[in-house]
Chain A
Amino acid sequence: MKGASILALEAGPRTREAVDGFFATQRFPIVEGNFITFVWRGDAEAVHLKHWVFGLPSSQQLTRVEGTDVWYRTLQLPPGSRVEYKLEVVRKGHGEWMQDPLNANTARDPFGANSVAHGTGYEVPSWIQPDPAAAKGHRDEIWIDSKTFGRRGFGLYVPARFLRSRQYPLLVVHDGHDYLRYASMATILDNMIDRLEFADAIVVFTSSPDRLREYADDERHAKFLTEELVPFVERLFPIDQEPQSRCLMGASFGAVASLSTAARYPGYFGRLLLQSGSFAFTDIGDRNHRGPLFDPVVAFMNRFRSDPAAVSERIFVSCGMYESLIYENRSLVPLLLSTGMDVRYVEARDGHNWENWRDRLREGLSWLMPGPFLHVYE
């Protein structure tokens, strides 16, 4: 498979000047309709495209344009797609992973940064950009002395127009500091609250030093959230204590922690936002292919699947189509619906990454805890 631009390059004189001209006139990776061409230039024994699109081979070799130092790989990329990737350049038998030097577009995550390719029609949402006109919420770091986990810090967001005389809903975010760092969540809250799309809410950003254990249906974690953290915040701020005004959210294992906490304390969190949940399960037996870290998740999900219950009221579920977890998330939705809970499910042509979770926040948060946009007519 070759894009039109590569075909044109091959049809030309293949001189250094011609190749220089090719690089001077293109933006990389090259998007042509439903196709995308990744390009690298230089001497190497081999170049590989490394990506995290479930369903495609995770490593694909680039082809050299004969007589040049140009390497390319063309893939089909449906409209609206967003793909994170790296290049592996092999020299002297040694492979080096790198960001695409021709593409300045990157996405950060706790493990570093990846290059990002956008398919036709994908646009970075405008509402993630800081808006000078939007009032900024107040941010702080608070410490709690937990009987369960000892001393722990959590991030705090207080809306700009906060008044002691009002009652506020509460949003608790798993991996909260990562949501702030990699998903622009404070900016998104500022913008959405200013545009009346999200309720003026107190937001708590939790993080765990041992998330793979604590988020995997750990009784201690659920107890910490519901019996220590939330009551602690309720003592600090005027919080509406109705379930409809409490939302718990997270991505990946954080989504598992959200659902399992709700299952342990039904009706406590009336709103759940579950992004790309690691909802591994088995239909028979208890062995799963994802490894022992998932064993408690599988045990929880198998229990929940055998006896699903309305543990919350309203649940927003999102997942990327290019994630290996898409099957688990798609399977979860009819199960949740069968309980009578109000469920909204959204898929995107994206992967298991922070920008996918960022891009779904507006839709999820505004549906779960809408601001007064429906009531305000100025």
Chain B
Amino acid sequence: MASVVLLGPQGTSPDVGAVLADLGITGKVGLVRAGYQERESEDADMIASLGVPAVNLKLHARSVEVFRDDTELTVAYQARQQRLRHIQAFYRVRLDKIEDAGKTISVRYVEPDLLEMEEKVSVDQYRHIDADHIERCNAVRSVFDMSWRFVDRPVIARHRDELRRELQGAEALVIAGGHVASLLNRLAMFDVLELVAGKPVIAWSAGAMVLTERIVLFHDYPPYGSDIAQVLDTGFGLAPGLVVLPDPHRRVNFDARAGIQRFARRMAPATCVAMDHGARIELEDGTIVRANGVRLTTTGEVDHDWDGSPSRFSSPFLRGVPL
């Protein structure tokens, strides 16, 4: 049985029920809808689409209770989140400067091979700044974790006990999409993945993103014109070596070959997979055993028939920033 399955958006014709059936899951599953925030409990249609009994773990509502009942933790947590938001904003400013520098250099009248080399330097700078950003986010979280271990907080421990009971007998965990940061933080607060260790995890959209090693925010058509993809944070790493890009038909400009190339090189050696409705990646112990999706390649081409083969990155100029 596959241990992790990533899916594209479910939309109005969900395929998650078919996936559960393929996996032979017929019993109860735990459902995470924390990405829907205040709409978390509006779960009737989603549960019906699963085709199996499901218990909504209501992590968002539980977090609201935690913030209400544990005011000391809440103050510290909000301060941490504020700091992370500032760091994200400053990282975003730096991305702009790299983008500007790359653009300025790219229009110089010099030998093409020099421009090509400079493009690789730009990619290298992106990679460096991405890695640095993740390191800084991790440092902020580490400092927080040293003083505020979630599992030691009585109110969280109580919720974890409840969750453990609710997950007793569950055959799998299903993680829906929604607000990716909200989802990541709630899953981390209650350490839900520890509670279902060894059981299959099926996730889509934002749910799929949080299971990878790096969560990347992206949108080629923002309302303000254009934007640069940005790393948000470290994911739970159950789907290693992948950068998941849900809902690409609304968010990714597949015709922008240079942009695709730069993004794929920036994320290498991870494989960048755009996942629309119907896309599916199955992993066993962190290794892809079956997949269909759209792979963005380091040459700028878009492989619409990607079947799970790993990405190959060939630039000799990367300095091997640890990912």
Contacts and interface: CB of A to CB of B under 8 A. Distances in A.
Contact of A377 (B224, B225, B246): B246
B258 interface: no
A4 interface: no
A344 interface: yes
30 contacts: A163-B38, A165-B67, A165-B68, A342-B93, A344-B224, A363-B224, A363-B225, A364-B224, A366-B223, A366-B224, A370-B222, A372-B179, A373-B219, A373-B222, A374-B218, A374-B222, A375-B179, A375-B181, A376-B177, A376-B179, A377-B180, A377-B206, A377-B209, A377-B246, A377-B247, A378-B9, A378-B35, A378-B36, A378-B177, A378-B247
B297 interface: no
Interface string A340-378: 001010000000000000000011101100101111111
B274 to A, nearest CB: 12
B82 interface: yes
A372 B224 CA distance: 14
A303 interface: no
Given A363-B223, A378-B206, 10 more contacts: A161-B38, A165-B67, A362-B223, A367-B223, A373-B219, A376-B206, A377-B9, A377-B180, A377-B247, A378-B9
B64 interface: yes
A190 interface: no
Contact of B64 (A161, A165, A244, A342): A165
**A-B residue pairs, 6 tightest by C-beta:** A367-B224, A366-B223, A377-B205, A377-B206, A377-B246, A378-B177
Contacts of A375: 179-182, 217, 232
Contacts of A192: 223
Nearest to A364: B224
Contacts of B67: 165
A217 interface: no
Contacts of A123: none
Q: Contact residue range for chain A? A: 20 to 34
A364 B177 CA distance: 28
A227 interface: no
Interface in A80-94: none
Nearest to A165: B64
A197 interface: yes
B178 interface: yes
A242 interface: yes
Contacts of B206: 376-378
A378 B217 CA distance: 13
Q: Is the interface of B mostly helix, strand, loop or mixed?
A: mixed
Interface of B: 9-10, 35-36, 38, 64, 67-68, 82, 89, 93, 176-182, 205-206, 209, 217-219, 222-225, 227, 232, 246-247
Interface in A229-283: 242, 244
B223 A197 contact: yes
A166 B38 CA distance: 11
Interface string A194-225: 00010000000000000000000000000000
A51 to B, nearest CB: 29
Most chain B CB within a 10 A radius of its CB, from A165, A362, A367, A377: A377
Contacts of A372: 179
A366 B209 CA distance: 24
B205 A242 contact: no
Nearest to B246: A377
Contacts of B180: 375-377
A376 B232 CA distance: 12
Contact of A376 (B68, B89, B178): B178
A372 to B, nearest CB: 6
Interface string A134-150: 00000000000000000
Contacts of B209: 377
A63 to B, nearest CB: 41
Contacts of A163: 38
Nearest to B8: A377
A244 B67 CA distance: 23
B133 to A, nearest CB: 15
A65 to B, nearest CB: 44
A165 B177 CA distance: 23
Contacts of B223: 192, 197, 362-363, 366-367, 373
B38 A377 contact: no
B177 A377 contact: yes
A342 B64 CA distance: 34
Contacts of A378: 9-10, 35-36, 176-178, 205-206, 247
Nearest to A374: B217
Contacts of A244: 89
Contacts of A377: 9, 177-178, 180, 205-206, 209, 246-247
A11 B10 CA distance: 62
Contacts of B38: 161, 163
Contacts of B64: 165
Nearest to A313: B89
A161 B42 CA distance: 15
A126 B225 CA distance: 16
B285 to A, nearest CB: 26
